[in-house]
Amino acid sequence: MAKTSRFFEIIQILRAADTPLMAKEIARELEVSKRTIYRDIATLQAMRTPIHGEAGVGYIIREGYDLPPINFDQEEAEAITVGLSMVARTGDADLLKAAKRAARKLHDAAPVVDHLLTSSWGVQPSDAVNMKALRLAIREEQKLDIRYRAKTGVDSTRIVLPLALIFYFDNVLLVAWCELRRAFRHFRIDRMTSCRATGDTFVGEGKALREEWDATQRSSTVET
């Protein structure tokens, strides 16, 4: 997490707290060290953010302290609330943590929505695939070496260029260019028995490949 984002999160966490919070509690929430929190709070205090307290005692922010407003209307608030709630169905634990951080940021910017509920039932997390690493590979255009079990039970090893993830209510598909087949393929996450970065990249090619894949979707069904 970037330092500026961490500053924002610390402020939001303190604003939501009813009692002083220890550095270790904030550190656990943001998955960083206590030393990092001590440093960040000292920096925020030097920037005149009204955070009071000290190490060993806990920290609290002055009541009424606010950040520049972002305004959403009722329907926008409903759309955001439902969207963030449904992240729980992706099976991606790190994406869920990010959704919770986003919800904190939006809490004061949107009308309260407590009349739209979503089920948390959905994709089961995979022991073989690190979803955070997979999303990183897509963003940074890193090639992946995957071991895949087809619906027939046959195992194969593929080198793929990961392009996108499609989330369904019960599964997640990786859209990729398969070097073995020289074509676009969809790979079910729950059929991957291993997934790792090869160290090779395809930087600069991802956008064009996604556009080409999208064109194939308009005219035909991509094989799995």
Rounded Cα distance between 57 and 118, Å, is: 39
Could you report the per-residue pLDDT of 4-23, keeping only the tens digit for each? 888 888 988 998 888 999 99
Tens of pLDDT along 129-185?
999 999 999 999 999 999 999 989 999 999 999 999 998 888 899 999 999 999 999
97: which residues sit within 8 A by CB, 6+ positions away?
31
Comparing C-alpha atoms, which of 177, 172, 204 is closest to residue 191? 172
Average pLDDT, the chain: 87
Q: Is the overall model pTM greater than 0.75, yes or no? A: no
Res. 209: pLDDT tops 90: yes
